[in-house]
Amino acid sequence: MSATENDFFKSRVLGHPSGLFVLFFTEMWERFSYYGMRALLVLFFSASVLDSGWGWPKEHALAIFGTYTALVYLSTMLGGYFADKVIGIRWAVVVGALLMTLGHGSMALETPFFIYTGLVLLVFGSGFFKPNMTSIVSEMYKDHPEKKDGAYTIFYMGVNAGAFFGIMLCGYLGEKIGWSWGFGVAGIFMLFGLLQFWKAQNIFGNIGLKPVKEKATDATVTPEGGKLNPFTKFHMFLIVVCIGLGLAWILNDPVNKISEGAANLFDFQLAGISGSNVIILTALILFLVLLVSRISRYDKILRDRMIAIVFFAIITMIFWSIFEQAPGSLTLFAKDYTQRILEGTSGAVFKIVNSLITIVPLAIITWVLLKLFGQTFRKYKLSNIILSLSFIIIWGIAIWMVINEYKSTSYNIEYKNLNGTMNKSKVVSSNFYNDNAAVSVVDIENVSFFQPDSTSRVANNALTDKNDQYVGEVFTGTVTKLFEKEKPGAFGTVTQYAEVSFANASGAGFKRDVKLNKENRENLKVGDAKTILITHDIRYDNEQDSPVKATITSKESATEVNASWFNILNSLFIITLAPLFSRWWSSRYNPSANNKYAIGMLFLGIGMAFVAFGASSIVVGAKSASVSMIWLVFVYLFHTMGELCVSPVALSYVSKLVPGRMIAVMFGVWYLAVAIGNKLAGIFGEMSEHVADEKGYSYFFWMLTGISLAASLLSFVLGPVVKKLMHGVK
């Protein structure tokens, strides 16, 4: 049975139409897959090859990450066009979900071809999916504009519920089990989202069906009032040129950096300006010409409202350029500069807290699911069954993760090498060891060659020779040859390696192929001698009978917090705070639009100030530190409050300020601003490494704090002007 648009509010869940919660769960699984994969992307690219990553410098990982996230939002304009003109909103959602399912599946294979193929599929999939979900919400509430803010806030809770579980579970699987597990699980739940939406689509009545071509008419006035503003040939030319130049620049940026200039599409200079900067500046100028030309053709009220949207878009762009440091520079800060190993009481407390923040939100979302079942199960049985199955699986993974983390323990180890030297060590593991049990020592090879204090774990089965008896000994290596290998995932580039033969004082030894850094590529020659120290880690292995044995002397509760874990705090705080902000927006204390933006930017600046202060103890140029976790907790708390003031409210105001015929296109334009913000986030993240080396990480975060506070002040000052431009829209 199909509902008409006026029937939506007859079937309600928590005061809103049941259809909103069908969208809630569809969006939840899409965000689960997107944020789950995104939490791993920079870590995967920058992880060492021996840790199954690609071993890229952080700057390269952040460059491709910024380009990927920017293209995700840019593609929404293409998806919005096809939805409006060709296939309809519903088919656009289905096509997008299918492409994303295939994209995540491709990334699970981890080869360069499939990683890049997966990213391309995810870009186009998100483009078809993202703008059209919000368009359905807008159409459902067009006769109830006073409820739109609350609806978008609830919808945004679905977004963040998916992000929360995606980051937590995909991040855990990816970092502790294997990257392909994290990528693969993201695809599985995207498939569930696709199927449950498809089987419940009739709940949306006529919304989103394939568009019907309107008959030719000579009318020059729209049903909403105001003249039509068709695109001229000049406008179309500007659009094509801007798109071409913008896409070329966005794609060239990471290619140029990863290939170290070997594949630069814009290898020229004009008046001392690099070719890359010339291209992006030209695109920006042409876009401004297009914007001014288009807006000037509308009637005064609509023109003023569109100018207000432009102002909001600029602030939004600044907001996302700083907020999106979370999966980039802030995640790398958590990985390298934050104390993430918790032992004793702190370790035990974290396990309890982590269990609660996993199980309690999942229980709340399950309760909402049951409420939806009560309203829709009779009409949409298969959709509800699919949704139930997805939650059974998610519960299983969550419970397994909690139990596995409770096993995590810190073991103090004593062992002897062949020379009889006694050594001590400590290892954090989720495996159960018995007191005084003999366990094998697995060697750690120094893979950051010529930096003896930098080590990386080598899995036992990754070794081709048995050198665990050499743990604790110093070896001298002689370079026997230099050669090149194709760089994993790079654009036709190669990486230089050295074959090194190592030997200790007694003459025993082994060979290793060692990746060279820039300095060593320039200076290293065959015959050079280098020294390394083989350190250690512990791994339980019943089958191996090694001459070197270790004995556990004591143990205590401990855990190592994943670097990606901190990203869940944003989603956790949104799930907690969104109802409070929704009530605030519905009360008589509801701030004006620009004041919401100003408050959001203020919260953003306060959050950055916390991590800037926390990082003040890090020495300039340091490659590691042990800053307290509490600073990152405060960052995500205040950034979340800022997000609640900006992001869901922005979607609501766009739908209020423009006529219905322009909603899908304007959402696409809005995501253009978000795309630019995401690319800027990647560029800022790349800058963080250079700034940290020269002036320290604290200085970098203070820079972002200043930008946030300046944007907040601008929003407050221009408040009366923006209010006038909105012509009564609240």
Query: Over the stretch 272-320, which tens digit does the pLDDT of each residue have?
Result: 787 788 888 888 888 888 878 877 777 788 788 888 888 888 888 999 9
Give the closest residue to 575 by CA, choosing from 69, 165, 26: 165
Residues 83-97 pLDDT 10s: 777 788 888 888 999
The answer, yes or no, to whether residue 569 has pLDDT greater than 80, is yes
d(CA 254, CA 269): 19
Instruction: Please tell me the predicted confidence (pLDDT) of residue 612.
Output: 93
What are the residues facing 428 on neighbouring strands?
410
Instruction: Please tell me the predicted confidence (pLDDT) of residue 22.
Output: 80
Instruction: Please tell me the predicted confidence (pLDDT) of residue 232.
Output: 76
Of 15-29, 377-391, 630-644, the range with the highest mean pLDDT is: 630-644
The answer, yes or no, to whether residue 520 has pLDDT greater than 50, is yes
Q: What is the biggest distance separating any 2 CA atoms in the chain, rounded to whole angstroms?
A: 96
Domain boundaries, the chain: 5-214+221-229+298-340+561-725, 409-559
- What are the φ and ψ backbone dihedral angles of 476, each rounded to 5 degrees? -105, 130
Residues 235-247 pLDDT 10s: 788 888 888 888 8
- Residue 15: pLDDT band (50, 70, 90) is low
What are the residues facing 486 on neighbouring strands?
494
Instruction: Please tell me the predicted confidence (pLDDT) of residue 368.
Output: 80
CA-based torsion, 307, 311, 314, 320: positive or negative: negative
The answer, yes or no, to whether residue 540 has pLDDT greater than 70, is no
Instruction: Please tell me the predicted confidence (pLDDT) of residue 637.
Output: 95
Q: Buried (b) or exposed (e) across 64-76, using 16+ Cβ within 10 A?
A: bbbbbbbbbbbbb
Instruction: Please tell me the predicted confidence (pLDDT) of residue 693.
Output: 82
8 Å CB contact between 41 and 110: no
Instruction: Please tell me the predicted confidence (pLDDT) of residue 639.
Output: 94
8 Å CB contact between 386 and 195: yes
Q: What is the mean pLDDT of residues 46-66?
A: 77
Instruction: Please tell me the predicted confidence (pLDDT) of residue 149.
Output: 64
d(CA 243, CA 225): 31
CA-based torsion, 29, 34, 39, 43: positive or negative: positive
8 Å CB contact between 341 and 560: yes
Of 61-75, 257-271, 662-676, the range with the highest mean pLDDT is: 61-75
The answer, yes or no, to whether residue 699 has pLDDT greater than 80, is yes
Q: What is the DSSP string of 434-498?
A: -TT-EEEEEEEE--STT-TT--EE--GGG-SS--GGGTT-EEEEEEEEEEEEEPTTSSS-EEEEE
Residues 32-54 pLDDT 10s: 888 888 888 888 888 765 456 77
Q: What angle do CA 597, 603, 608 make, to 5 degrees?
A: 125
- What are the φ and ψ backbone dihedral angles of 470, each rounded to 5 degrees? -95, 5
The answer, yes or no, to whether residue 75 has pLDDT greater than 70, is yes
Give the closest residue to 129 by CA, choosing from 173, 65, 181, 193: 193
Give the closest residue to 311 by CA, choosing from 711, 727, 730, 631: 711
The lowest-confidence range among 32-36, 513-517, 579-583 is 513-517
Into which CATH architecture does domain 5-214+221-229+298-340+561-725 fall?
Answer: Up-down Bundle (1.20)
The answer, yes or no, to whether residue 11 has pLDDT greater than 70, is no
Residue 629: C-alpha distances to residues 166, 550, 573 (Å): 21, 32, 16
8 Å CB contact between 70 and 137: no
Instruction: Please tell me the predicted confidence (pLDDT) of residue 545.
Output: 35
Instruction: Please tell me the predicted confidence (pLDDT) of residue 648.
Output: 66
Q: What angle do CA 445, 447, 450 make, to 5 degrees?
A: 105
- Residue 726: pLDDT band (50, 70, 90) is confident
- What are the φ and ψ backbone dihedral angles of 535, each rounded to 5 degrees? -100, -155
First to last CA, the chain: 36
Instruction: Please tell me the predicted confidence (pLDDT) of residue 475.
Output: 54
Torsion of CA 126, 127, 131, 133, to 10 degrees: -40
- Residue 452: pLDDT band (50, 70, 90) is very low
Of 232-241, 504-513, 541-550, the range with the highest mean pLDDT is: 232-241
Q: What is the mean pLDDT of residues 169-181?
A: 86
- Residue 216: pLDDT band (50, 70, 90) is very low
Instruction: Please tell me the predicted confidence (pLDDT) of residue 225.
Output: 47
**Which residue pairs from 228-234 have beta carbons closer than 8 angstroms and sit at least 24 positions apart in sequence?**
229/294, 229/297, 229/298, 234/293
Q: What is the mean pLDDT of residues 434-445?
A: 34
Residue 119: C-alpha distances to residues 72, 374, 480 (Å): 9, 38, 39
**Which residue pairs from 359-365 have beta carbons closer than 8 angstroms and sit at least 24 positions apart in sequence?**
359/398, 359/402, 361/161, 361/164, 361/165, 361/572, 361/575, 362/165, 362/394, 362/395, 362/398, 364/575, 365/28, 365/161
The answer, yes or no, to whether residue 347 has pLDDT greater than 50, is yes
The answer, yes or no, to whether residue 647 has pLDDT greater than 50, is yes
d(CA 297, CA 291): 10
The lowest-confidence range among 623-637, 663-677, 698-712 is 663-677
Give the closest residue to 527 by CA, choosing from 571, 479, 485: 479
Instruction: Please tell me the predicted confidence (pLDDT) of residue 444.
Output: 27
d(CA 700, CA 685): 9
The answer, yes or no, to whether residue 382 has pLDDT greater than 80, is yes
Instruction: Please tell me the predicted confidence (pLDDT) of residue 48.
Output: 62
Greater confidence (717 vs 500) lies with 717
The answer, yes or no, to whether residue 450 has pLDDT greater than 50, is no
Integer-rounded Cα Rg, in Å, for the chain is 28
Name the 3-class secondary structure at 338. Answer: strand
Instruction: Please tell me the predicted confidence (pLDDT) of residue 619.
Output: 83
d(CA 485, CA 495): 5
Instruction: Please tell me the predicted confidence (pLDDT) of residue 318.
Output: 92
Instruction: Please tell me the predicted confidence (pLDDT) of residue 146.
Output: 64
- Residue 120: pLDDT band (50, 70, 90) is very high
Which residues neighbour 378 within 8 Å (Cβ) at sequence distance 6 or greater? none
E strand spans, 276-405: 341-343
Q: What is the DSSP string of 7-53?
A: GGGGSEETTEEHHHHHHHHHHHHHHHHHHHHHHHHHHHHHS-GGGTS
Instruction: Please tell me the predicted confidence (pLDDT) of residue 267.
Output: 76
Q: What is the DSSP string of 566-624?
A: GGHHHHHHHHHHHHHHHHHHHSTTPPPHHHHHHHHHHHHHHHHHHHHHHGGGSPTT-S-
Give the closest residue to 604 by CA, choosing from 291, 378, 373, 325: 325
pLDDT, mean over the chain? 75
